[in-house]
Structure 1
Amino acid sequence: MSDQAQSLRNLLQGLPERDKQTKVITVTSGKGGVGKSNFTLNFALALQTKGYQVLIFDADIGMANIDVLMGVSSKYNLYHLLKREKSIHEIIHTGPYGLQFIAGGSGFNDLLSLSQEEIDYFASQVELLNGTVDYIIFDTGAGLSKETLKFIVAAQETIVVTTPEPTSITDAYAIIKMVHSMEYEVDYRLIINRVTDWKEGQHTSDKIRLVAKKFMDLDIPTLGYVLDDPNVSKSVKRQIPFSIAYPGSSASKNIQEIADRFLLGEKGARRVNPDSSQSGGMKGFLNKMKSWIT
């Protein structure tokens, strides 16, 4: 299973002639209502403002709302790509600070019934994104659906968002445990959202980390905490990301700190040069998706 997981993590690699290597990150949660999409958006904006090019792929089936949170209209989405009405570059929209995103719409439902020819086409289109941005962030649906599993396993890193609520903690641990039971190796990071103070954030992360270490022998670092901030809900109503609407708010400052910590970890991480001769790549990833579904 570890070889399969490593192969999936290289899904956007294979174009060595380009200087930039795109890293794929999945953001997920055990349950809905924990602020996952809001975190994804503002985290991506923080990276964008620090000079990195980011593209959000809204993979939350049936609940795609990244465009709504930004107040940006998305005329085209994944559906138009799968129907070959538009190319991948034509369905990319631009939000604040030049942040790019692809709206999910109804398109991800169609991913479940693609023919081999359609898979090949989709793979060739998505592969065109490799090297065009620094990070592609998949914002998945809450819980471990078949679709979410694909992105968790495929990503080079998966950020799990939870809150201090007991049900949220339990569900976050459950999603990690379920993926681990399938013998996939996933590089996790924790985000504790809506904490009253740093002590609560640390206490929450310690609960998950200690249990994960004891029962699965997994070391799961905590990427950071986001304080419970009334400005977040205000920004949602205004359809403006809170890091833009209220840059001096506690939540905005927390996001900036998280982005700095993430980038510091990136600089210290050992870079692995992808082997362009490796077969499979994106096509292998999508074929595996189809085989899992059937």
Structure 2
Amino acid sequence: MGNDQADKLRERLNAFHTKSKSIAVMSGKGGVGKSNFSLNFSLALQNVHKKVLLCDLDIGMGNIEILMGESSTFTIVDFFEKNLSLKETISTSVIGLDYLSGGTGLGTIFRMNDRKFQRFLRELEQIMKEYDFIIFDMGAGISEDSLLFLLSVDEIIVITTPEPTALTDAYAAIKHVCINHDSTAFSIVVNRALNYSTGAAAFSRLQQTMSQFLKREASLLGIIPDDSAILKAVIAQKPFIVYQPSSQASKVISKMSKEYLKNQTFIFTEAEQAPFISKLKSFFVRGR
């Protein structure tokens, strides 16, 4: 290959960059296994050599730490109140997962003053370069502040169960996002399904309702069985994918992560970089 050709090829390759994916995991109501999914899905992605940062934005609940049986030294609250760097507030669990604890005493980061919030965005933008995925475990339901994150991420994963109330609440949460943003990508996980057909029927009902009333489609990310191993792992304060890796639920979420990665693109042009941070900035300015 001549020098001119090699230079041109180098220029074309340098015009593209890897970018982390920002994912929000939400549910319409509490108690459907949202945080448990966030934790185990993060570990499943890590098991196939993806670098993941799990952020607990269910401020005050600390579910991620409880599910792992661990306690972080610092939380996101310390970033704002003790002037620590965002990197200092990130903990690494004994199983090797990087996570940011939500902590308590922080009502919302969006009501911070401009200087603090801009510092948060700058440091988050730098940290995102170190990970393939940033997964935000949101609080149940949608608040005015969590909506800003939901409208900014690349993708939203909605956790529900086959119960009619859970499906109704999931639809209400999806509708709330769609009213404010008509192009958000949704993936659905049906948790605690008695069998695959039960889970598939639940997804079908939710999908039909979305199509009829919102004119929107969602993809089925997976159906997690109502596996006793999950409850045993919660009691033991261990992720079920670690506690019983051969359980049906563990096999399903491992397969789910691999199928999910098949449809992911990690190479983007310069113009497509960091839309998550850009959106957060614009929402913050708009809300001032």
Relative to the length of structure 1, the TM-score reads 0.87
**2: distance between equivalents of 1:258 and 1:216?**
27
Distance in 2 between residues matched to 1:208 and 1:118, nearest whole Å: 40
Three-state SS of the structure 2 residue aligned to 1:179 is helix
- The 3 A distance-change label for structure 1 pair 281 and 238 is closer
1:275 matched residue in structure 2: 271
Q: Which runs of 5+ in 1 are unaligned?
A: 1-15
Q: Provide the residue aligned with 1:289 in structure 2.
A: 284
AA in 1 matched with 2:44: A
Q: Against the structure 1 CA distance between its residues 239 and 224, is the aligned structure 2 distance closer, same or farther, given a 3 Å change threshold? A: same
Structure 2 counterparts to residues 158-237 of structure 1, below 5 A: 158-237=156-235
Per-residue deviation at 1:88?
Answer: 1.0
1:212 and 1:239 map into 2 onto residues whose CA distance is 36
> What is the aligned-residue identity percentage?
34
Gaps of 5+ in 2: 1-13
Question: 1:21, CA displacement in angstroms?
Answer: 1.4
Which one-letter code corresponds to 1:123 in the other structure? L
Give the one of 44, 54, 74 matched to 1:76. Answer: 74
Change in CA separation of 1:273 and 1:97 when aligned onto 2, cut-off 3 Å: farther
Contact 1:40 1:139 in 2 (8 A): yes
Residue equivalent to 1:25: 23
- Residue-by-residue CA offset, 1:143-163 (whole Å, 9 max, x unaligned): 111122122111101000000
Shift of 1:84: 4.3
Q: Pick the structure with greater CA Rg.
A: 2
Once the two structures are superposed, the pairs formed by residues 250-269 of structure 1 within 5 Å of their partners are 250-266=248-264, 269=265
Q: Flag the 1:167–1:152 CA change in 2: closer, same or farther, 3 A.
A: same
Q: Is the 8 A contact 1:58 1:102 kept in 2?
A: yes
Q: Secondary structure at the match of 2:131?
A: coil
Q: Tell me which of 125, 128, 144 is aligned to 2:126.
A: 128
Change in Cα spacing, 1:81 to 1:234, as seen in structure 2 (3 Å) is same
2 CA distance for matches of 1:195 and 1:99? 27
Give 1:265 deviation, angstroms.
Answer: 1.4
Q: CA deviation at 1:70?
A: 0.8
Question: Which residue of structure 2 lines up, in the alignment, with residue 8 of structure 1?
Answer: none
**What do the CA deviations read for 1:150-189 (whole angstroms, capped 9, x no partner)?**
2211110100000001100000011111211224421000
Equivalent position amino acid for 2:68 in 1? M
Give the structure 1 partner of residue 10 of structure 2: none
Find the aligned partners of 1:62 and 1:239 in 2 and give their Cα distance: 18
Deviations 1:12-67 (A, max 9, x none): xxxx8995411100000000000000000000000001000000010012223111
Work out whether residues 173 and 208 of structure 1, in 8 Å CA contact, stay in contact via their aligned partners in 2.
yes
Contact in 2 for aligned 1:77/1:107 (Cα 8 Å): no
SS in 2 for 1:150: helix
1:275 to partner: Cα distance: 1.5
Q: In structure 2, how many angstroms separate the alpha carbons of the residues matched to 1:59 and 1:281? A: 16
Matches of 2:79 and 2:238, distance apart in 1: 27
Residue 59 of structure 1 is aligned with which of 52, 57, 60? 57
Q: Contact 1:23–1:135 (CA<8 Å) still a contact in 2?
A: yes
C-alpha distance 21-74 of structure 1, shift in aligned 2 (>3 A): same
CA distance in 2, matches of 1:105, 1:96: 19
2:150·2:156 contact (CA, 8 Å) conserved in 1?
A: yes
Runs of 4+ in structure 1 over 3 Å off: 16-20, 269-272, 289-292
Q: CA deviation at 1:272?
A: 3.9
Compute the TM-score of the two structures, normalised by the length of structure 2.
Answer: 0.89
Counterpart Cα distance in 2 of 1:270 and 1:105: 31
Q: Which residue of 2 aligns with 1:9?
A: none
Aligned pair 1:241/2:239, yes or no? yes
Rounded to whole Å, the distance in 1 between the matches of 2:269 and 2:105 is 32
